[in-house]
Every structure is written in C-alpha cells, then in structure tokens.
Amino acid sequence: MDEEIWELRLYVAGHTVKSVTALANLKKYCEEHLAGRYRLEVIDLLQNPQLAEGDQILAIPTLVRKVPSPIRKIIGDLSNQERVLVGLDIRPLDPK
C-alpha cells in the first residue's frame, strides 16, 4: 500500500467559501500524511457539469478517493480532520 499513489478528486462549484476551505483543508492533510504519494485533481462543476454524473456527485464540496479502491466519498468542507482521515482510511498509514 505504501507504493500506491493516492488519487483524490475534489469536486467544487466555483470559488465558494466552502470550496476554498475544503481545498485548503485537504491540502493540509495530504501534505501531512500522504506527502508525495498523492495526486489531487480539483474539478469545478460549473465549468464541467457533465463530470458530475460519473462520480455521482450531489453534494458540494465532495472529495472522492478513486485509488486505492474502494471508492470513498467525503462531503463537506473537510473541517473535521479526524473524520476526513477515517473517511479516507489514512490513519493506519500514519504511524510516524
């Protein structure tokens, strides 16, 4: 699992407060726990609305963990660090 590159997608709709907060939070957690092992893609649905269907996006912002499987989704501004890490299943990889 250590070898694996985490693929994360953050769906936002424009530069709302929630989106900006979520992105900032996410970047912070990734740098802390997945430094160098992740790829983050930010999708603005206002620009690409057709992409919403593929990942079954309803809520904004939504963070989708594509890899490693299974797909996990976390919605909200990601302000609760513990829940984000549990949601993404990052905790076991954080023994340091």
Partner 1 sequence: MTAASPVLPQLPKAPTGIEGLDDVTDGGLPRGRPTLICGSAGCGKTLLSVEFLVRGIQEFDEPGVLMAFEETADELAANVTSLGFDLKQLQADKKLRVDHIHVDRSEIEETGEYDLEGLFIRLGYAIDSIGAKRVVLDTIESLFSGFSNQAILRSEIRRLFRWLKDKGVTTIITAERGEGNLTRQGLEEYVSDCVILLDNRVINQITTRRLRIVKYRGSTHGTNEYPYLITEQGISVLPVTSLKLAHAVSDEIVSTGVSGLDEMFKRRGLYRGSSTLITGTAGTAKTTLGAAFALEACRRGEQCLYFAFEESPQQLIRNMRSVGMDLQPYVEQGLLRIEASRPTLNGLEQHLVTIHKLIGEFKPACVVIDPISNLVSVGSITEVRGMLTRLIDYLKVQGITALFTALMSGSKANQEMTEEGISSLVDTWLHVRDLEGIGERNRGISILKARGMAHSNQVREFLVTDEGIRLLDVVIGPAGIVTGAGRHTQFLQEQALALAAQQEVERREREVERKRRVLEATIANLRTEFESVEEELRHVGQEEQQRQQDQRQARQQVAQGLAPRPGGTSAAEPTNS
Tell me how crowded residue 8 is: count the other CB atoms within 10 A of its CB. 21
Q: C-beta of 57: minimal distance to partner 1 in Å?
A: 4
Beta carbon nearer to partner 1, 38 or 77: 77
**Residues 47-66: x/- map of binding to partner 1 (CB under 8 A)?**
--xx-xx--xxxxxxx----
What one-character-per-residue DSSP string does 30-43 give? HHHHSTTSEEEEEE
| Owner of token pair 């990601």 | 78
Stretch that binds partner 1, among 2-10, 30-38, 69-77 (CB under 8 A): 69-77
| Owner of token pair 């996006």 | 57
Q: Does 29 bind partner 1 (CB under 8 A)?
A: no
